[in-house]
Amino acid sequence: MNKFILTVILLLALFTPVSPKSASARTVTYFSPQANLQNTDIYWLNKSLKVKSLYIAMYSFTDYKIARELIYLAHKGVKIYIYRDDKQMKDRTDRTYMLKTIRNIYIKAKRDKGFWNIMHDKIFIIPGVVFREGSANWSPSAEGASCYHGNCGSSENQDNNATYITNRNEINIALYNFRHIWDRKSNININ
């Protein structure tokens, strides 16, 4: 296969939205900065309006646009459970503070005891709809959505990925694991 055809196939895979109503479950991975993962995450997060629940474990969370989207979803009745790393939440650009007093948003953090004992997931789960995982944190540079100094090119963004899985068995396994880490006695209740 020539390089042009491979490029076209890759671009189609990167920019074709995945519908959870497909006849069969699908798994699709997108890569930033080639794809804007922020837009893809927001597309999927809005699917939580249907089931009214959303589970998130995110190490870094500095993305204002996604924080605003979570507030919108909570106001529409979605119950949102957010699990964080307690030291990472102390980053000066962290957006968790925006969510602390919002009705329907519940926040806990793992007590970070150093390098070997951090909460490092980058996931969200919408029961029966999608499980998102990958290397991309919720920061504009990680999601390929940065635009510093008027330059929105790849040099302004990190290389990351996000995988969206619609297989119900995989979603249920992820939800089971989320509930396990959420229920740890050593967790810190944020709100």
Closest to 143 (Cα-Cα) out of 119, 159, 127, 131? 159
For residue 34, what pLDDT is reported?
86
Task: Decide if pLDDT at 8 tops 50.
Answer: no
For residue 13, what pLDDT is reported?
47
pLDDT category, 50, cuts 50, 70, 90?
very high
What average pLDDT score do residues 110-133 get?
A: 94
pTM comes to 0.83
Lowest mean pLDDT among 9-18, 64-73, 101-110, 119-128: 9-18
Taking all residues of the chain, what is their mean pLDDT, rounded to a whole number? Answer: 87
Q: Are 84 and 188 in contact (CB under 8 A)?
A: no
What CATH superfamily classification does 29-189 receive?
Endonuclease Chain A (3.30.870.10)
Cα–Cα distances in angstroms (integers) from residue 190 to residues 64, 69, 116, 157, in the given order: 19, 20, 22, 30
What average pLDDT score do residues 30-38 get?
A: 90
For residue 67, what pLDDT is reported?
98
For residue 154, what pLDDT is reported?
59
Task: Decide if pLDDT at 21 tops 70.
Answer: no
pLDDT category, 156, cuts 50, 70, 90?
low
For residue 11, what pLDDT is reported?
46
Q: Are 120 and 134 in contact (CB under 8 A)?
A: no
What average pLDDT score do residues 19-32 get?
A: 73
Q: Where are the domains of the chain?
A: 29-189
Lowest mean pLDDT among 3-7, 28-32, 57-61, 63-67: 3-7
What average pLDDT score do residues 37-53 get?
A: 97
HEC assignment per residue over the chain: CCHHHHHHHHHHHHHCCCCCCCCCCCEEEEEECCCCHHHHHHHHHCCHHHHCEEEEEECCECCHHHHHHHHHHHHCCCEEEEEEECCHHHCCCCCHHHCCCCCCEEEEEECCCCCCCCCCCEEEEECCCEEEEECCCECCCCCCCCCECCECCHHHCCCEEEEEECCHHHHHHHHHHHHHHHCCCCCEECC
Of 88 and 20, the structure prediction assigns the larger pLDDT to 88
Task: Decide if pLDDT at 1 tops 70.
Answer: no
